[in-house]
Amino acid sequence: MSRSAARSIAEYLKQLREALAGEDPALIQDALYDAEEYLRAEVAAHPGKSEADVLELIASTYGAPEEVAAAYRDTEAKVKAALQTPPPRASASQSPWRKFFRVFLDSRAYLSLFYMLLSLITGCLYFTLVVAGLSMSAGFAILIIGVPFFIAFIAITRVISLGEGRLLEAITGERMPRRPLHPGPPAGWMSRIGAMLSDARTWTTLAYLIAMLPLGIVYFCTAVVGLAFGLSCIAAPVIDALQHLGWVEGVTVYGNGIPHWLTTPLGSIVQFLFGILLLTSLMHVARAVGQMHAKLAKALLANPA
């Protein structure tokens, strides 16, 4: 049964949300933003007409909610196919060890490792911004600049959340919002402030920015310790072998307290292989951390469908 045409912007957006039911929340947020932005611009351009008249006027150009939803699905599928990393060629004889070491051919593993190193810096910046912003907002609450300052602070956090989402999408491939939530129809300052405070996403965004500091510390320490230990296990026996060949001089590889068996040829081989296994495991951990962190960020930064 065909659905009746929407007579208001709110009704149109409701029908569009229903038509996109089951799709990615980030996609729904972007589609609703684009539709509301376009429809309200058209209503503003025709001040002498009602919302129902404007919707009827542009029905043939913008399309019904079902048509817009189908267009977004089609575009999303094409973009996802274009950006998707080509899967490795399947091989029935591929051994588990070969699958284990194929992580070095995965660009997302390297990007996720870079994000783990970067997260300490971003975590410190986000945490400082939120703590300073909330503290100053509370301090300015008794002054006339308190409300504008708080609104500006929330606006900044939302811009940062969009940037963080795009960064995670580039690193992990997880679809993140590319548009903010639309502010809705023109309204008074008090109405907008009330809507902003009642929006759960305002507070989940702040929670995410605060949580980035402890998460960043864990990610950074894991990446640095894994890289340092793995690379040292690989480099030490190589440098020691070069010293025995006389190609390298004046480099202290093994200090006091190192077990003697590590300096033997067998110990050097074991240490070298252990370093490779450690680095490979770190790459797998980095890829998993990137995927899990993207899921967390999406739950806190994207508007639920």
Distance CA 102, CA 99 (A): 5
Q: 101: which residues sit within 8 A by CB, 6+ positions away?
A: 280
**Which pLDDT belongs to residue 116?**
96
Residue 123 lies in a domain: yes
**Which pLDDT belongs to residue 259?**
61
Instruction: Say yes or no: 72 and 184 in one domain.
Output: no
Residue 84 lies in a domain: no
Domain boundary pick from 19, 45, 79: 79
Contact 305, 28 (CB under 8 A): yes
Domain boundary pick from 50, 79, 108: 79
**Which pLDDT belongs to residue 1?**
43
Instruction: Say yes or no: 134 and 73 in one domain.
Output: no
pTM, two decimal places? 0.79
Instruction: Say yes or no: 68 and 190 in one domain.
Output: no
Instruction: Say yes or no: 152 and 18 in one domain.
Output: no
Instruction: Say yes or no: 34 and 67 in one domain.
Output: yes
**Positive or negative, the Cα torsion across 282, 283, 284, 288?**
positive
Residue 2 lies in a domain: no
Instruction: Say yes or no: 135 and 233 in one domain.
Output: yes
Domain count, the chain: 2
Dihedral over alpha carbons 59, 64, 70, 72 (to 10 degrees) = 60
Instruction: Say yes or no: 185 and 292 in one domain.
Output: yes
Write down the residue that tokens 């450690």 correspond to: 278
**Which pLDDT belongs to residue 248?**
58
Instruction: Say yes or no: 13 and 146 in one domain.
Output: no
Residue 58 lies in a domain: yes
**Which pLDDT belongs to residue 178?**
83
Instruction: Say yes or no: 23 and 170 in one domain.
Output: no
Distance CA 258, CA 236 (A): 12
Residue 90 lies in a domain: no
Residue 213 lies in a domain: yes
**Which pLDDT belongs to residue 160?**
93
Domain that holds residue 190: 97-305
Instruction: Say yes or no: 171 and 243 in one domain.
Output: yes
Contact 253, 263 (CB under 8 A): no
Domain boundary pick from 79, 107, 136: 79
**Which pLDDT belongs to residue 247?**
64
Instruction: Say yes or no: 101 and 75 in one domain.
Output: no
Q: 132: which residues sit within 8 A by CB, 6+ positions away?
A: none
Tokens at 234, concatenated? 């690989």
Instruction: Say yes or no: 195 and 59 in one domain.
Output: no
Residue 86 lies in a domain: no
Residue 87 lies in a domain: no
Q: For every one of its 305 residues, what pLDDT tens digit does the chain have, with 9 covering 90 and above?
A: 456 777 888 888 888 888 888 888 888 888 888 888 888 888 888 888 888 888 888 777 788 888 888 888 888 888 777 666 665 565 555 678 788 888 988 899 999 999 999 999 999 999 999 999 999 988 888 888 888 898 899 989 988 999 999 999 989 888 888 887 776 666 666 777 777 778 888 899 999 999 999 999 999 999 999 999 898 888 877 766 666 666 656 555 555 556 665 667 777 788 889 989 999 999 999 999 999 999 999 989 887 65
